Amino acid sequence: MQQVVHDPDHMRALVHEARAAGQRVGFVPTMGALHAGHASLVARASRECDVVVVSIFVNPTQFGPQEDFTRYPRTLAADTALLAAHGVRWIYAPEASSVYPPGDATRIVVGGPAVRFEGEQRPGHFDGVATVVCKLFLAVPADVAYFGAKDWQQSLVVKRMVRDLGLPIGIVVCPTMREPDGLAMSSRNAYLSVADRPRAVALSESLHRAAELWSAGADTATIERTMRETLSSHGVVIDYAALADPESLDPLPKNATRAIALVAGRLGSTRLIDNMELPTRGSPERGAET
């Protein structure tokens, strides 16, 4: 039987009890507006754990002042039904006042993989993510937590925080789920206008172009230019389109063998992000990168 839990102390006690009884507990943190991408995380957690907890909390501290916190889709009834169908035991849906009590004055400040890309575009975003994820891990002291590769940079930030703070939880990153035309599933896709929806395929197309060129030995500048051209040709206003080291997100060294391609841009008022890990290549880049 599924249970919605609002109180962090109650939630923690339930997880402790389950683990004391020898059950492996899996945790999927979300902001709700659940879709097939979230369902795939829950399915993986269900396969690998005895009990699954899903949190639903639209976290104010990871939204900038001009961002979509107030209009972020809130679909609790549909979310609860989807999670019931997936056999989720507990939904943790805390009140904002229990996550951020009156007078709250403490934040986790993240660097390293948080600095570039989304970190530049959305100042403070990853401090808000790290702070809430840490608080969620305290309320849901699970064995393992599941995150989507769609938010690759977020998953690196969480892994780094877990390592740096010595948090006793495993992190599993699951593949991005895509619509039939390649658009990465996201709660924000619901904002796309009818006219913009077909244009959104530009993000995944630009990543596929990057993968082709990378495999053919092209240099970083050529690949990034092609990604930008693909995005612009569909009317996407580009925030970034770049290759980086997949673990640190630092700029690629010359002769890199591993890379991730990352894109972010806007269609109308909808901001979309996507990424793709590129196939490891053995030979040095052909282009001069001096």
d(CA 14, CA 5): 10
H-only helix segments in 86-150: 96-99, 118-121, 125-139
Q: Which two tokens stand for residue 227?
A: 């990604």
Q: What is the dihedral of CA 192, 198, 200, 202, to 10 degrees?
A: -170
The dihedrals phi and psi of 131, each to the nearest 5 degrees, come to -60, -50
Identify the DSSP state of 87.
Answer: T
Q: Which two tokens stand for residue 85?
A: 């169908």
Determine if 213 is a binding residue for ligand PAF (CB under 6 A). no
Minimum separation from the CB atom of position 257 to ligand PAF (A): 29
125 catalytic? Reply is no
Among 31, 241, 242, 262, binds ligand PAF (CB under 6 A): 31
d(CA 41, CA 124): 26
Minimum separation from the CB atom of position 272 to ligand PAF (A): 14
Q: Which of residues 44-83 bind ligand PAF (CB under 6 A)?
A: 59, 62
Rg (CA), the chain: 20
Minimum separation from the CB atom of position 220 to ligand PAF (A): 28
Determine if 151 is a binding residue for ligand PAF (CB under 6 A). yes
Cβ–Cβ under 8 Å, residues 28 and 148: no
Cβ neighbours around 32 below 10 Å, total:
21
Identify the DSSP state of 189.
Answer: G
Q: Which stretch binds ligand PAF (CB under 6 A): 28-36, 86-94, 216-224, 238-246?
A: 28-36
Among 129, 184, 207, 223, binds ligand PAF (CB under 6 A): 129
Number of amino acids touching ligand PAF (CB under 6 A):
10
Minimum separation from the CB atom of position 135 to ligand PAF (A): 10
Nearer to ligand PAF, 140 or 227 (CB): 140
Determine if 94 is a binding residue for ligand PAF (CB under 6 A). no
Q: Which stretch binds ligand PAF (CB under 6 A): 23-31, 84-92, 198-206, 261-269?
A: 23-31
Determine if 236 is a binding residue for ligand PAF (CB under 6 A). no
- Among 10, 35, 38, 208, the one annotated catalytic: 38
Nearer to ligand PAF, 55 or 230 (CB): 55
Q: Which two tokens stand for residue 35?
A: 């879709």
Show contacts of 17-20: CB within 8 Å, 24+ apart. 18/50, 18/51, 19/141, 19/143
Determine if 133 is a binding residue for ligand PAF (CB under 6 A). yes
Nearer to ligand PAF, 32 or 246 (CB): 32
Q: Which residues are catalytic?
A: 38
Positions touching ligand PAF (CB under 6 A) are 29-31, 59, 62, 129, 132-133, 151, 154
